[in-house]
Amino acid sequence: MSLLIGDTVIPSFGKGSSCVTGDHTFCWDWVREHWGDTLGPALWQHIELTAIAVVIGFAIAFPLALLAHRFRKLEQPFGIFSALLYTIPSLALFQFLVPFTGLTVTTVEIALVAYTLVILFPNIAQGLNSAPPDVLEAARGMGLTRLQTLTRVELPLAVPAIVGGLRIAVVSTVAIATIAAFLLPKGLGYPIFLALKEPTPFKTEIYSAGALAVALAIGCDGLLVGLRRVLVPWVSKGVA
Amino acid sequence: MGLEGGRVTLADAANLHTFVDAAHFIANNTGFLATKALEQLALSGAALGIALAVALPLGVLLGHFHRGSTIAIGASIVGRGLPSLVLIAAFLTVLGIGFVNNMVALAVLGSGPLLTNSYDGVERVDRDAVEAARGMGMTGWQVLRGVELPLAIPLIFTGIRVAAVTIVATAPIAAIAGGGGLGDIIVNQASYRLSGVLGASICVMLLSALVFVALTGVQIAVTPRGVRRTSVVGEPQRREL
């Protein structure tokens, strides 16, 4: 092994340590060295891709769910449509959108928003419909109008289901956003994508970017659990 | 949403034209596409087979003994939160490039919904029904075969369907790790051009939709008539008591 050092430099690994050139299981020095130019930016782009998708998805899903709550007949058609949409493979959906919007962030975001909609809409709609009949009866007995019932009774009761939907949506979006690397040099999927394209895939790059993606998903999930504790402290823990 | 101006190539601008080209590609390469689709189905089938052999009995047994809820919850998180690309890449570093690493990665991915649903399905069977069966002198095995499994079928089959669709839908990504299938065309725009990539993408979509519809049909067919209209958690089945 020591013969190789300073002798041959494998192109994309750069001038690495013996750990890097030998492609050992995990090289902390590579992570330290490439945090600034590879891992850090990829993590930030991943957060950006996810945040935009979830925020836009929520902004569309929420009014749609309110509409479906008001007109219950709309719920089933949308449910069937979303179940079918969710079976579309992300890689295929990305490619399908390329002729319309090109190899752009827009293409990726349209697909990601579509997937978040599929998760968020049924959860919000279900949450809004979850108020027990006697509670609604009591609200009407107190003289609340329909709008007041919605804002003071149904919405607060729907918060756990809404946060539950957001948790699933965020975790799934973090996962799906790694596939964006097939189109764009963005997100945590990209270092993995590049490492896989090497003749011998560079392990440290795969493991570090993969671990960051998983950590990001877990971290976002934890934040949302915290949010639920703040918003609806009376909900016992463990209820999704 | 103009977050960042990506580059738009000439081919992108002529979008309708691209779809016509894709249709031509599909029409001119049906044999090739069918071979690739079969390759993808073979990989998916093998992965689903492993997941069925491991996760299904495990979930059913854990549910039967009311043990290991943490395993079931953990499996659902793995199924949803573990990026498929990460899983495929990680298994590639351990098992090398080719069929096996992809099969294992996809099997792990499919095991999530299978384990969760088979556990939930059996675990949530009405305790009264199980008690009654025990009271009639049924052994644990008979209770599982005669009461818990039939009542759990709707949920278990939903798990199988979700796992199958997840595996088939993820299989194209495996192409980057030597998994073959229609994904080979999608990740190789240099050889097949946008029309080929788009044509293969459309085939992938159709394949997933086909698997979804076919398995939904099978699900309706295999669900015992008595359980069809009741939920697993619902009332005990009076006919069976």
- A 131-160 near B (Cβ less than 8 A): none
> Cβ separation of B1 and A56 shorter than 8 Å?
yes
Low-confidence ranges of chain B (pLDDT < 50): 1-5, 10-12, 230-241
> Which residues of chain A from 191 to 210 reach within 8 Å of chain B, CB to CB?
192-193, 195-197, 201, 203, 206-207, 209-210
Indicate the number of domains in chain B: 1
Structural domain includes residue B137: yes
B186 touches chain A (CB under 8 A): yes
**Chain A touched by B82 (CB under 8 Å):** yes
Whether residue B241 is contained in a domain is answered as no
State residue B9's pLDDT score: 52
Rounded alpha-carbon distances, angstroms, from residue A207 to A23, A31, A235, B232? 12, 10, 37, 41
Does B82 sit within 8 Å of A214, measured CB to CB?
yes
Q: Is residue B16 part of a domain?
A: no
For residue range A171-230, list pLDDT tens digits in order: 989 989 999 888 888 888 888 888 888 777 778 888 888 889 888 988 888 898 888 888
Q: Do A207 and B212 touch (CB under 8 A)?
A: no
Domain of residue B103 covers: 21-224
pLDDT of residue A31: 76
* CB < 8 Å from A in window 14-73 of B: 14-16, 18-19
In order of their start, the domains of chain A are 42-231 (1.10.3720.10)
Residue of chain B nearest A85, judged by CA positions:
B209
B96–chain A nearest CA distance, Å: 9
Q: Do B212 and A98 touch (CB under 8 A)?
A: no
Q: To the nearest whole angstrom, how far is the Cα of B13 from the nearest Cα of chain A?
A: 7
Residue A20: pLDDT over 90: no
Percent of residues, chain A, with pLDDT higher than 70: 90
Interface ipTM > 0.85: no
All residues of chain A having their beta carbon less than 8 Å from the beta carbon of residue B80 are 168, 171-172, 175
Q: Quick one: which of A177, A166, A165, A172 has its CA closest to A49?
A: A177
A225 in contact with B, Cβ within 8 Å: no
For residue A140, pLDDT beyond 50? yes
Each residue of B172-218: pLDDT tens digit?
988 888 888 888 888 887 888 888 888 899 999 999 989 988 988 88
Q: Is residue B238 part of a domain?
A: no
Residues of A in contact with B82 (CB under 8 A): 175, 214
B64: CB partners within 8 A, 6+ apart: B122, B140, B143, B144, B148
Residue B111 lies in a domain: yes
Please report whether residue B162 resides in a domain. Answer: yes
Query: Between residues 22 and 41 of chain A, which touch chain B (CB distance below 8 Å)?
Result: none
| pLDDT for res A5 | 45
Compute the average pLDDT of residues A7-19. Answer: 56
Nearest to A95 among B77, B186, B211 (CB): B186
CA angle, B232 as apex, B228 and B237 as ends, to 5°? 70
pLDDT for the residue numbered B240: 24
Residue B56 confidence (pLDDT): 92
**Cα A123 from Cα B233, distance rounded (Å):** 20
Examine residue B216 and state whether it is found in any structural domain, yes or no.
yes
pLDDT at residue A174, rounded to an integer: 92
**pLDDT for A58:** 94
Contact B204 A92 (CB under 8 A): yes
- Chain A residues within an 8 Å CB radius of B172: 89, 91-92
How much is the pLDDT for A15? 56
pLDDT at residue A47 above 90? yes
| Neighboring chain B residues of A56 at a CB cutoff of 8 Å | 1
> What pTM was estimated for this model as a whole?
0.81
Interface contact A99-B15, CB threshold 8 A: yes
Nearest to A168 among B19, B80, B165 (CB): B80
Query: For position A4, what pLDDT does the model report?
Result: 44
pLDDT reading at A239 higher than 50: no
B8: helix, coil or strand? coil
pLDDT recorded at residue B38: 92
Q: Looking at residue A122, what is its pLDDT? A: 85
pLDDT of residue B42: 93
- CATH of residue B27: 1.10.3720.10
Is B3 part of a structural domain of the chain?
no
